[in-house]
Structure 1
Amino acid sequence: MTAPLTDGDLTLRLALDDALVVRFEVENGQPLGTVEIRRTTPGVGLVMWALDGGAELAQRALRLLSEYAFDELGLERLQVEVDVELRSSARVAIRSGFRREGVLRGAALVEGERRDVAVYGMRVDDPRPDTVTGWTALMDSTLPKKRVIAHVVVRDTRGRVLLCQVSYKKDLELPGGVVEPDEDPATGASREMEEELGTALPLLGVLAIDWLPRWEGWGDAVEILYDGGVHDPALIDRLQPDGFEIRGVSWHAPDALVGLVSPLNARRLPMILAAPDQLHNLSNGTPIIS
């Protein structure tokens, strides 16, 4: 028989233990509700609760239940699924040690309406929420993750800019691309150039920092435009487009970009090329006026 679980004040008493569900009744001198684990796949359990008494009490109950699941049931992962509108339940999940992992779009049907469901997970080897690394990992899981883009502005001695014909859109684009996780932007810019053009030119500094709003399905992003230097026009003959993402490269004058590049680059590139010795602080290609 399973002994009650307790933290000295709150008590969980086993009420059901079968092949699918392990349920505990929760009390602190009076009945407060239930917490349970539903076995979904081998080693994984879905945690649910129906409790009176507030968020702190629910958090304490879930912490007791989680340790029982790992230590006694031998589970390796626990999961909580919460309607994204139920912010109090989301806080309970986080403070109980569950990291936010993503959103299942339209996964729940509530009164005939499709609702998004946020998924929170905890592994048996995760640092616990009462440790420094455990708490920072929990907070990190809830904070925004903004995309970072690093492009390189390469000029020739005639004042033209190097642009790439890419395979996935009509607009000509600067060399570079999205920075990978745990990669600094300058390294990302050099890596992208090497992958796309077979050559990573030295980066001489930052020409512009731009914020990009949501656009055509993309989330917002921060973009850094690096100075790839001024080169002889013959540089283009040394470049080796990968033939997959980059189909070709060419030089273009700043006053001839409209219709060739995106409206964003048509706004900002002539301005940047006209003043390459200053740092341009931009928002959607427009100078930020302080």
Structure 2
Amino acid sequence: MTAVSPLTDGELTLRLSQQDQQVVTFDVERGGPVGTVEVRRTTLGVGVVTWAMDGGPETAQRAVRLVAEYAFDELGLERLQVEVDPEIHASARVAIRSGFRREGILRGAALVEDERRDVAIYGMRKDDPRPDTITGWTALMDSALPKKRVIAHVVVRDTSGRVLLCQVSYKKDLELPGGVVEPDEDPATGASREMEEEIGVALPLVGVLAIDWLPRWEGWGDAVEILYDGGVHDPSLIDTLQPDGFEIRGVAWHEPDALQGLVSPLNARRLPQLLAKPTVLHNLRDGKPISPPAG
């Protein structure tokens, strides 16, 4: 066994107890034995950190931080992982507070008492900013906090009050121009980009008609949708549009009172409201008003 001076942060001490080509194990002491922490090599330059501790999450966090720096500096590893049951929140907190960013879920990756369980993966690279720095801590929190999809659609009307709807290739319901906002893209830019990609033109956005929260639906997670006002146009506008032919097969004007059965139940609920009062901001939950329209 290679001689290693005890690792310590002034309160916690890690003493090397086992080392081979695959596993390095430390006994953890804090006024007495409190558990163990180890690094197991998986592939070249990558290790998995595990711990068994009686001293609570704060003690585990200190031990994991110490062994992580040892693994990077002395073992030459470039990346470390922590793999925990998503239901064990204390382990997740230890991972985050030790500097590991949440990276995702491996569904059914563990077999526990003949039951398939999910595994949450937390990762740290050698060059990651550490959790005691501002950028390190905010990156950790950003990895763990909820992330909602943002959707931006555009409501385009003609002078007779009809709404422009697209025939899409991936479902039978007619849809508004627009789509999912990309990372690092503001919603208005996303709406304009999607409009140009789908129908060949980015019409000016003259305001926001509605903000809607969408619950989970048919495999989709919940989302926030912004419906922009694409303005009022002469019916001949439709002759200038150029559906992409792949996602959008065609476009047409539709009367507000004839949408049932043509659009999704969500749009059947909310579009008549928006078209009846297009000069106010509608605050919606799943297409239903949650407060009187502003204005």
Alpha-carbon distance, 1:2 to partner: 2.0
Amino acid at match of 1:260: L
2:59 is equivalent to residue 54 of structure 1: no
- In the alignment, the residues of structure 2 paired with residue 223 and residue 44 of structure 1 have an alpha-carbon distance, to the nearest angstrom, of 40
Alpha-carbon distance, 1:289 to partner: 2.9
- Which deviates further from its counterpart, 201-210 or 99-108? 99-108
Alpha-carbon distance, 1:110 to partner: 1.3
- In the alignment, the residues of structure 2 paired with residue 270 and residue 51 of structure 1 have an alpha-carbon distance, to the nearest angstrom, of 59
- In the alignment, the residues of structure 2 paired with residue 171 and residue 129 of structure 1 have an alpha-carbon distance, to the nearest angstrom, of 47
- Quick one: which of 89, 98, 102 aligns to 1:100? 102
Alpha-carbon distance, 1:230 to partner: 0.7
- Quick one: which of 135, 140, 149 aligns to 1:133? 135
- In the alignment, the residues of structure 2 paired with residue 188 and residue 2 of structure 1 have an alpha-carbon distance, to the nearest angstrom, of 55
Alpha-carbon distance, 1:199 to partner: 0.6
Alpha-carbon distance, 1:229 to partner: 0.6
2:234 is equivalent to residue 232 of structure 1: yes
Aligned to 1:147: 149
- In the alignment, the residues of structure 1 paired with residue 31 and residue 150 of structure 2 have an alpha-carbon distance, to the nearest angstrom, of 53
Q: Deviations along 1:124-160, whole A, 9 cap, x unmatched?
A: 1111111111111111211110111000000111111
Aligned to 2:76: 74
Q: Percent identity?
A: 82
Aligned to 1:33: 35
Alpha-carbon distance, 1:40 to partner: 0.7
Alpha-carbon distance, 1:259 to partner: 0.5
Alpha-carbon distance, 1:14 to partner: 1.6
- In the alignment, the residues of structure 2 paired with residue 9 and residue 207 of structure 1 have an alpha-carbon distance, to the nearest angstrom, of 58
- In the alignment, the residues of structure 1 paired with residue 273 and residue 19 of structure 2 have an alpha-carbon distance, to the nearest angstrom, of 69
Amino acid at match of 1:251: W
Aligned to 1:109: 111
Structure 2: 5+ residue stretches without partners: none
Aligned to 1:162: 164
- Quick one: which of 185, 190, 193 aligns to 1:191? 193
- In the alignment, the residues of structure 2 paired with residue 238 and residue 76 of structure 1 have an alpha-carbon distance, to the nearest angstrom, of 55
- In the alignment, the residues of structure 2 paired with residue 191 and residue 17 of structure 1 have an alpha-carbon distance, to the nearest angstrom, of 56
2:11 is equivalent to residue 13 of structure 1: no
Alpha-carbon distance, 1:215 to partner: 0.7
Aligned to 1:241: 243
TM-score, normalised to structure 1's length?
0.98
Alpha-carbon distance, 1:267 to partner: 0.9
Aligned to 1:64: 66
Amino acid at match of 2:258: A
Alpha-carbon distance, 1:234 to partner: 1.2
SS, match of residue 91 in structure 1: helix
Alpha-carbon distance, 1:28 to partner: 2.6
Alpha-carbon distance, 1:237 to partner: 1.2
Alpha-carbon distance, 1:32 to partner: 1.9
- Which deviates further from its counterpart, 251-260 or 108-117? 108-117
Amino acid at match of 1:111: E
- In the alignment, the residues of structure 1 paired with residue 42 and residue 240 of structure 2 have an alpha-carbon distance, to the nearest angstrom, of 57
- Quick one: which of 218, 222, 225 aligns to 2:224? 222
- In the alignment, the residues of structure 1 paired with residue 212 and residue 267 of structure 2 have an alpha-carbon distance, to the nearest angstrom, of 11
2:88 is equivalent to residue 86 of structure 1: yes
SS, match of residue 65 in structure 1: helix
- In the alignment, the residues of structure 1 paired with residue 273 and residue 97 of structure 2 have an alpha-carbon distance, to the nearest angstrom, of 48
Q: Deviations along 1:56-99, whole A, 9 cap, x unmatched?
A: 11110000001111111111111000011111111111111111
Q: CA RMSD in A?
A: 1.0
Q: Deviations along 1:27-54, whole A, 9 cap, x unmatched?
A: 1342222111111111110000112211
- In the alignment, the residues of structure 1 paired with residue 42 and residue 29 of structure 2 have an alpha-carbon distance, to the nearest angstrom, of 27
- In the alignment, the residues of structure 1 paired with residue 286 and residue 52 of structure 2 have an alpha-carbon distance, to the nearest angstrom, of 47
